[in-house]
Chains A and B, each alone.
Chain A
Amino acid sequence: MAQSAELLSLSPPGWGGNLLRGLSHSLQIAFGAYALGLVIGLFGAYGKLYGGKVTRDLLAIYTTVIRAVPELVLILILYYVGSDIINKISTAMGGGRVEINGVAAGIWVLGIVQGAYATEILRGAIQAVPPGQIEAAKSYGMPALMTMRRVTIPAMMSFAVPGLANLWLIATKDTALLAVVGFNELTLETRQAASSTRAYFTFFLAAGFLYLMVTLCSGGIFARIEKWARRGQPSLKGGSR
C-alpha cells in the first residue's frame, strides 16, 4: 500500500504527475474533438435535411463509412494518411518534414469520427422539432439563419442532449485509441509507468479510477445541461400539471 502511494506520488520518482499529464492531454483531445464533431454534426445535419442531392449523397457516404469502420482502423488511416498528405504538401512547397502535433492530430482524427455520429444525432433532433414552431418564426419574417439560431437549435436541444452526452463519453474513451499512434495520453502514460515499474495493477487501477472520475463529473454536468434544455417541458415524473 505504502509502495503504491509512493509509485503514484506526483513528483518523481512517483509517476502520478505523468498520469495527470496524460489525463490532461486526453481531456484536451476529447474536448477539441467533441467541439469539432458538433460543428461538423450541425453542418452535416442541415446538409442532410436541406442540402441538394450531391450534398446529401456525400454526407451519406461520410456517416456510413465512418460508422461502419472500427474506430481503431479509422484512427490509423486518418492519422497516417493525414500526416503523409501534410508532409507531401510541405515538401512540395520546399519545406522539410513537419513534426505532427499530437494534440492537433488527435483532435482532427477523433473530431471527424465524432462528426459522423453528431450528424445523425442532430439530424434526428432537428426533425423532432414541431414544424409549426419553425413555421411560426418564418411567418413573422425571421430570416433562415436567425430561425436556426433562435428557434430550431434551442428547441432541438432537449432531443439531442442525451445522445450528445453519450457522444462525449465516447470521445473521452476513444482518446485511449490514440496510444497506437504513440500519442502520450492517459493510457499510454499508464502503460509506460506500469512497464517501467512492473506495478501493472496499481497503475491500471489508478487510470481506471481517473476515467471513472471523468465519467462521473460529465454525468453531473450533462444532467444540468439536460435540465436546462428541457426547460418549458413538464416532467413526466411531476405529471400533475
Chain B
Amino acid sequence: MSEFIIETHDLVKKFGNFTAVNGLSLQVPVGSIYGFVGPNGAGKTTTMRILTTLTRPTSGGAFINGVSVLDDPRAVRRAIGYMPDEFGVYDDMRAWEYLDFFASCYDIPLAERKKLIDDLLALVDLSHRREDMVDKLSRGMKQRLSLARTLAHDPSVLILDEPASGLDPRARVEIRELLVELAKMGKTIFFSTHILADVSEICTHIGIVEAGQIIAQGSMDEMRAQLQPHREITVTVRDAEAAETVKRTVGGLTGVVNVVDLEAKGGRYRVRIDYTGDDDGVAALNASINNAGVSILGFTEETKDLEAMFMRVTKGIVT
C-alpha cells in the first residue's frame, strides 16, 4: 500500500459537453488533514462524489487505500466516511435512532450498536440530545451528528464537503476542533472549504483546484515555501538612526535579498528584511542586530496569509 490514502490520476468528469473535472491528480498522505480549496464550480464536489463511488469518472483513476473506486466500490465504501455539502435528515427520527440506522446499514451487529452510539454522541458532544428529534436540532448540531454518522463504521478516511458551511463562528470552531481530534485518532481527513482561515489553522496539507485541475498541492510548509520566494522579517526600532544601523548591519549578510524602510508607525521605525535562510539564520540575524547595539522593539516574521496565496495562484477563471 502506498503512503497516499487517496489518489487520483488524470481524473476527468464531463457532464455532456461541460468538463467539470479536467485531468485532476491529487495525493492525500495517510494521517493528513488535507484542505481542498478552490473557487465555486472548480469541481471539488464532483471530485468527492467520484471518490465516494456516487459518480463514475469519464476517464482517469481514483483510488482509496490503493483500491479503485470502479473495481471495488464496496471496499471503498467500507474505508470512507462521507458528508455531502447538502444533505437532509429524516424528519421522523431521534438522534440515537439516526445513528442506529446508519450503523445497521454498515452491518454492525445489534449488540455492539448501543455502546457505539453512546461513544459517537459523546465524541461530538451530543449525549444530552440523544432522545431529541433530528430535525429539531440546530444546524451546527446536525452537522456534528452527521460527522458522528460518518464515523459509525470506523473508516480510515473522512471525505467532508464543506463541513463548516453555514455555521456561526463558534460552531465552526467546534467542528474544526473535532476534525483535529479525529486526526489525532488516526483518521485521514480530506475536506473542501472556502474558509481559508480553517485551512491555515488546522491543515497539514492543501490542494488548490481551479477549473477542474489541481494548480498547487503539498504540505503547508512546502506550499508556503513554494508560493513565497523568501521570508519577510520586520524589525521595529525606536528611531531613524537605529533603523539605519539595522540596514547597515544586515545589508551584507548572506541570504538577505533586500532591505527596505517601511513607513514609520506610531513614532516607531520599521525595517523589512527579505531573507531566504532557515530558522538558524533568522536567529543569527537577530543576534547580529543586537550585537550592533540596537535595542529591538519588535522582531517578527510575517507569515504571508493564505488569502494572498490563494488570490495569487488562482487566476479567477470563471467556469
The reply to whether chain A is a binding partner of chain B is no
Enumerate chain B interface residues (CB-CB to A < 8 A). Answer: none
